Amino acid sequence: MIFESKKALRRTIKAQTATLPADERERQASLVGSYLRDKIRQMGNPTVALFSPLSDELPLDIAALSKLCRVVLPKVDATADIPLMEFYPYSTDSLTVGAYGISEPTSQSPILPEDIDLAIIPGVAFTLEGHRLGRGKGFYDSYLSRSGFRAETIGVCFDHQLLNTLPVEPHDRRVKKVVTASILEQKD
């Protein structure tokens, strides 16, 4: 039952995202990007786990953020029996298209979970309490549960992806904080 609820919700949110005008996407991404730059500056020189945004995710300027910190990006093994994702050092000249059409680092040396200070997490939807609806493969839930993972977690999304409630299962992992453009505008 929960599986079907999540599946239907993913379709609804993706349809809403597809109709979001380009200028509004950019406005929201700019506000969240500014927040992330400030957060990273406050932390000094952290190792930050980011993601290569898909067309229906909040676009992050990874290259700009990498000037402020050590950026690591995920690489997934889509053939594994259990969700397997590792983070690797980012470099503008060392990206390739990986599983699911996502840009991934070509590096072969993964970063240990305990070496990540801040993790910026994508999602199809979030709640203010940090509940997250992912794409259904379990890569992030599995990684956030790993031994040694201690990073502060921030979920980022478009305003319409912030919901009051989400269907939640025991294996679903929460993020510490959720940031959207409207949340940031309320704080000003």
Average of per-residue pLDDT across 91-114: 91
pLDDT at 188 over 70: no
Angstrom distance (rounded) from CA 161 to CA 174:
15
pLDDT digits (tens, 9 = 90+) for 39-97: 999 999 999 999 999 999 999 999 999 999 999 999 998 887 877 899 999 988 889 99
pLDDT at 1 over 80: no
Rg (CA), the chain: 16
Do 61 and 71 form a contact (C-beta atoms < 8 A)?
no
Q: Work out whether the CA dihedral 112, 47, 39, 85 comes out positive or negative.
A: negative
Give the pLDDT confidence score for residue 79 in this predicted structure. 83
Longest dimension (CA), the chain: 46
Helix%, strand%, coil% for the chain, nearest 5? 35, 20, 45
Report which listed range, 91-95, 155-159, 183-187, is most confident: 155-159
Angstrom distance (rounded) from CA 182 to CA 121:
18
For the question of whether the overall pTM of this predicted structure is more than 0.75, the answer is yes
Average of per-residue pLDDT across 15-31: 96
Angstrom distance (rounded) from CA 187 to CA 91:
34
Q: For the chain, what is the mean pLDDT? A: 93
Give the pLDDT confidence score for residue 185 in this predicted structure. 94
User: What torsion do the CA atoms of 154, 26, 62, 99 make, to the nearest 10 degrees?
Assistant: 80
Whole-angstrom CA distances from 148 to 10, 106, 112, 117, 175 are 30, 24, 8, 11, 16
DSSP state of 160: G
Per DSSP bridges, beta strands 132-133 and 95-97 are unpaired
